[in-house]
């Protein structure tokens, strides 16, 4: 009995460590410009959608604000900025990516602009576990220097099977029903938000976060493939 | 013994999650849900729901003694602006810019357009033109 308790401790400690401190890159070595320019205000541009899901754009744009706020940034309300951009005749974010961004500073007072390309937004339906696979390519660009301050290029897989409903055959059946229900309801907002949280994991904390300017040495799993800078659609399939 | 073990497990799990999730410093309620519904369906019903949610976020933040999240006052003000309630809109835009000074630039722009809307009562839809029309002082 005693021995198994120790084992349990060991496993939990390993789990705890492995989840929070993977040794790959530090925030300051990877994104030094974030600490140099210290952006406070972020303008979220309408995402570019290269996935096959028609809803991906709405899911993304309505769930990105919240995580960014929790990371300590001031984000302009997306409904307002999207409206203004439309009035100004800006429908296509793609056309903006290589243009000078000073106009966003002038107009909105934005320190940085977030460009996002949704590469993949796939739902896989299985009996016991459905997953949402979100693959995005985000870039936070400065409105003063036009340089890329932070970027993320990767895939997040979110489990949609609605938690554990207990063991046994009855449990499995219950789980299958929950899975079916949650995929049928098509309410992916919480999952989209979860995917966004994880995509932002390497972003240095902003002004309104207690860890602001204290997280330079924080390490994260570097998922940014240095070589694939060119946006090639669908590497798999 | 079994009960103790469960406790230890529970504590370990909570530590495990606490380390990875950012600290709760804002109350967002169902913000993304109602906003998504609004963006997707764009009708009266979803607009009312989202508006109620924004109001709830403001009141709930005050109850929990938290700062109202960035953009919430502004977004509510923008809805009022669209409903031609310029006075309420201006108050909310001002609150936003006091709470988050870095929003002042955009808020001033919105306040100007709200005031222009109020004075001319015509359908001013372009916020872009810096509204300095004192045309009725003739």
First to last CA, chain A: 50
Whole-angstrom distance, CA of residue B25 vs CA of residue A70: 7
| pLDDT above 70: residue B32 | yes
CB atoms within 10 A of CB B134: 8
Q: Please enumerate, as own/partner, the contacts of A136-139 that have beta carbons within 8 Å and a separation of 24 or more.
A: A136/A47, A136/A60, A136/A195, A136/A199, A137/A231, A138/A114, A138/A199, A139/A114, A139/A115
What is the C-alpha end-to-end distance of chain B, expressed in Å? 87
Tokens 């919480």 belong to A190
CA separation for the pair B71, A79 (Å, rounded): 10
Inform me whether the pLDDT recorded for B24 exceeds 60. Answer: no
Is the confidence at residue B47, as pLDDT, over 50? yes
Q: Output the six-digit token pair for A57.
A: 């754009």
- pTM of the predicted model as reported, rounded to 2 decimal places: 0.74
Inter-residue contact B27 to B69 (CB < 8 Å)? yes
Instruction: Quote helix, strand, coil % in chain A, to nearest 5.
Output: 40, 20, 40
pLDDT tens for chain A, 237 residues long, are 567 778 878 777 766 666 554 456 788 888 999 999 999 999 999 999 999 888 888 889 999 999 999 999 999 999 999 999 999 888 788 888 888 999 999 999 999 999 999 998 887 777 666 788 888 899 999 999 999 999 988 888 888 765 544 555 565 565 555 555 444 445 778 888 888 888 888 899 999 998 888 888 888 876 554 443 334 433 333
Nearest Cα residue to A203 out of A64, A1, A19, A88: A64
| Residue whose tokens read 């100007």 | B112
The answer to whether A162 and A171 are in contact (CB under 8 A) is: no
A10 in B contact zone (CB under 8 Å): no
Q: Which of B8, B16, B78 sits opposite A80 (nearest CB)?
A: B78
State the best of A7, A39, A79 to mutate against chain B, taking most chain B CBs within 10 Å.
A79
How far is Cα A110 from Cα A43, in angstroms, rounded to an integer? 6
Burial readout A197-207 (b: 16 or more C-beta within 10 A, e: otherwise): bbbbbbbbbbe
For residue A179, the model assigns a pLDDT of 52
- Residue B30 to residue A195: CA distance in whole angstroms: 17
For residues B110-136, average pLDDT: 64
Average pLDDT of the residues in B37-50: 92
CA B70 to chain centre: 7
pLDDT band per the 50, 70, 90 thresholds, residue B92: very high
* Partners of A152 in the β-ladder: A138
Specify the long-range contacts of residues A24-27, CB closer than 8 Å, at least 24 apart.
A24/A219, A24/A220, A24/A221, A24/A222, A25/A202, A25/A219, A25/A220, A25/A222, A26/A216, A26/A217, A26/A218, A26/A219, A26/A220, A27/A202, A27/A203, A27/A204, A27/A215, A27/A216, A27/A217, A27/A218, A27/A219, A27/A220
Is residue A77 within 8 Å of residue B75, measured between CB atoms? yes
**Arithmetic mean of pLDDT over chain B:** 81
User: Among B12, B78, B104, whose Cβ lies nearest the Cβ of A77?
Assistant: B78
Chains A–B, number of C-beta pairs less than 8 Å apart = 114
Q: What is the pLDDT of residue B10?
A: 65
Q: Can you give the pLDDT at residue B110? A: 95
Contact B102, A74 (CB under 8 A): yes
Instruction: Mutation target for B interface from A7, A70, A77: give the one with most B CBs within 10 A.
Output: A77
pLDDT at A184: 44
pLDDT value of position B27: 94
Whole-angstrom Cα distance, residue A223 to residue A136? 12
**pLDDT score for A229:** 39
CB-based contact A59 B71, cutoff 8 Å? no
Instruction: Report which of residues B133 and B1 the model is more confident about.
Output: B1
ipTM above 0.85, yes or no: no
With an 8 Å Cβ cutoff, the interface of chain B facing chain A consists of 1, 5, 8-9, 12, 15-16, 19-20, 22-26, 28, 31-33, 35-36, 38-40, 69-72, 74-75, 78, 100, 102-106, 109-110, 125-128
Residues B103, A80: C-beta atoms closer than 8 Å = no
Query: B63 or A25, which is more confident?
Result: B63
Q: Which of A137-141, B24-28, B128-132 has the highest mean pLDDT?
A: A137-141
| pLDDT in the model for residue A177 | 56
Q: Chain A closest CA to B135's CA: distance in Å?
A: 24
CA–CA distances in Å: residue A78 to residues A84, A123, A207: 10, 25, 20
Measured in angstroms, the CA of B138 and the nearest CA of chain A are apart by 31
Chain A positions touching B102 (Cβ under 8 A) are 40-41, 74, 109, 111
Tokens 């764009």 belong to residue: B42
- Minimal C-alpha gap between B73 and chain A (Å): 9
Q: According to DSSP H, which parts of A51-154 are helical?
A: 56-63, 65-70, 78-87, 102-108
Of B16, B32, B103, the CB nearest to A66: B32
Say how far apart CA A7 and CA A2 lie, in whole Å. Answer: 9
Inter-axis angle of helices B72-82 and B104-120, to 10 degrees? Answer: 20
């Amino acid at each position: 009995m005693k021995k198994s308790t120790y084992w349990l401790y060991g496993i939990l400690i390993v789990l705890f460590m492995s989840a929070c401190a993977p040794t790959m890159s530090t925030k300051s070595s990877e994104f030094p410009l974030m600490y140099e320019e210290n952006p406070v205000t972020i303008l979220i541009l309408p995402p570019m959608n290269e996935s096959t899901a028609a809803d991906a754009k709405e899911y993304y744009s309505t769930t990105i604000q919240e995580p960014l706020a929790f990371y300590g940034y001031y984000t302009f309300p997306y409904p307002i900025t999207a409206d203004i951009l439309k009035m100004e005749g800006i429908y296509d974010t793609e056309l903006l990516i290589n243009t000078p961004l000073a106009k966003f500073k002038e107009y909105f007072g934005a320190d940085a602009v977030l460009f996002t390309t949704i590469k993949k937004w796939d739902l896989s339906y299985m009996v016991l576990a459905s997953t949402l696979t979100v693959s995005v390519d985000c870039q936070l660009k400065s409105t003063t220097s036009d340089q890329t301050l932070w970027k993320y290029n990767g895939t997040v897989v979110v489990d949609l099977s609605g938690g554990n409903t207990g063991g046994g055959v009855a449990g499995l059946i219950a789980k299958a029903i929950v899975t079916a229900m949650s995929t049928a309801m098509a309410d992916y907002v919480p999952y989209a938000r979860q995917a966004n949280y994880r995509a932002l994991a390497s972003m240095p904390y902003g002004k309104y976060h207690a860890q602001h300017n204290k997280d330079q040495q924080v390490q994260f799993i570097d998922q940014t493939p240095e070589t694939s800078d060119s946006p090639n659609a669908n590497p798999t399939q | 013994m079994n009960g103790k073990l469960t406790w230890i497990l529970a504590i370990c799990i909570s530590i495990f999650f606490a380390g990875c999730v950012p600290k709760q410093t804002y109350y967002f309620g169902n913000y993304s849900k109602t906003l998504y519904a609004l963006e997707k369906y764009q009708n009266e019903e979803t607009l009312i729901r989202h508006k109620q949610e924004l109001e709830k976020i403001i009141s709930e933040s005050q109850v929990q003694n938290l700062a109202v999240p960035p953009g919430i006052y502004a977004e509510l003000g923008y809805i009022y602006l669209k409903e031609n309630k310029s006075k309420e809109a201006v108050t909310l835009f001002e609150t936003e810019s006091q709470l988050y000074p870095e929003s002042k630039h955009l808020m001033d722009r919105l306040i100007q357009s709200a005031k222009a809307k109020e004075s001319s009562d015509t359908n001013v839809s372009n916020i872009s033109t810096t509204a300095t029309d004192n045309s009725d002082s003739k």
